[in-house]
Structure 1
Amino acid sequence: MIDNYEKFKEQIFRLTTIDLNSYKEKQMKRRIDALITKHNINSYSSFVDAIKNDKVMYDEFVTNLTINVSVFYSNREQWQILEREIYPYLTSQFGKKLKIWSAACSTGDEPYSLVMLLSKFLPLNQIKIIATDIDKQILEKAQCGLYNDKSLKGLPKEFVTKYFTKINDRSYKINDEIKRCVEFRNHNLLKDPYPDSCDLIVCRNVLIYFTEEAKEDIYKKFNNSLKKEGILFVGSTEQIIQPQTLGFESFKSFFYKKI
Structure 2
Amino acid sequence: MLNTEEKESIINFTQEELKEIRDIIWKQTGIYIEDGKLYLLNYKVGSRLKKLNIKPREYIRLLNDSVSEEMKEVINSITIGETQFFRDKIQLDIFFEKIFRDYLKDYKGEEISFLSAGCSTGEEPYTIAIYLLEKFPLINFKVVGVDINEKFISKAKEGIYGIYSVRSTPPYLLTKYFERLDDSTWKIREDVKRKVQLERVNLMDRVGVKLLGKFDVIFCKNVIIYFDDSSRNKLAETFWSILKKGGFLVLGPAERISIISLIFEPLFESGMFFYKKVEKSKEFL
TM-score by length of 2: 0.76
The percentage of counterpart residues that share the same residue type is 26
In structure 1, the residue matched to 2:274 is 255
Q: 1:45 aligns with which of 46, 57, 69?
A: 57
Cα drift, residue 180 of structure 1: 1.1
Q: Give yes or no for the alignment of 1:5 onto 2:24.
A: no
Cα drift, residue 120 of structure 1: 1.7
Q: How far apart, CA to CA, are the structure 1 residues paired with 2:181 and 2:138?
A: 23
After TM superposition, the structure 1 stretch with the greater mean CA deviation from structure 2, 170-179 or 233-242, is 233-242
Q: Give yes or no for the alignment of 1:78 onto 2:91.
A: yes
Q: 1:36 aligns with which of 41, 45, 53?
A: 45
Contact 2:129-2:192 at 8 Å conserved across structures:
yes
In structure 1, the residue matched to 2:153 is 139
Larger radius of gyration: 2
The count of residues paired between Structure 1 and Structure 2 equals 253
Question: Following superposition of structure 1 onto structure 2, how do residues 11-160 of structure 1 map, counting pairs within 5 Å?
Answer: 19=28, 22-26=31-35, 29-38=38-47, 41=50, 44-45=56-57, 47=59, 60-95=73-108, 97-123=111-137, 126-160=140-174
SS in 2 for 1:150: coil
Q: 2:227 aligns with which of 210, 215, 218?
A: 210
In structure 1, the residue matched to 2:200 is 186
SS in 2 for 1:132: strand
Q: 2:214 aligns with which of 185, 191, 197?
A: 197
Deviations 1:168-195 (A, max 9, x none): 2221111121111111112111114224
Cα drift, residue 85 of structure 1: 0.9
SS in 1 for 2:164: helix
Contact 2:115-2:144 at 8 Å conserved across structures:
yes
Q: Give yes or no for the alignment of 1:172 onto 2:189.
A: no
Q: How far apart, CA to CA, are the structure 1 residues paired with 2:79 and 2:117?
A: 13
Deviations 1:131-159 (A, max 9, x none): 11111111010000011111111112221
Contact 1:9-1:21 at 8 Å conserved across structures:
no
SS in 1 for 2:87: coil
Structure 2: gaps spanning 5 or more residues: 1-12, 279-285
Contact 1:235-1:254 at 8 Å conserved across structures:
no
Residue identity matched to 2:94? I
Cα drift, residue 35 of structure 1: 1.6
Shift in CA distance, 234/93, structure 1 to aligned 2, threshold 3 Å? farther
Cα drift, residue 251 of structure 1: 4.3
SS in 2 for 1:4: helix
Contact 1:132-1:186 at 8 Å conserved across structures:
yes
Contact 1:106-1:138 at 8 Å conserved across structures:
yes
Structure 1: gaps spanning 5 or more residues: none
Deviations 1:220-239 (A, max 9, x none): 21112112221111112203
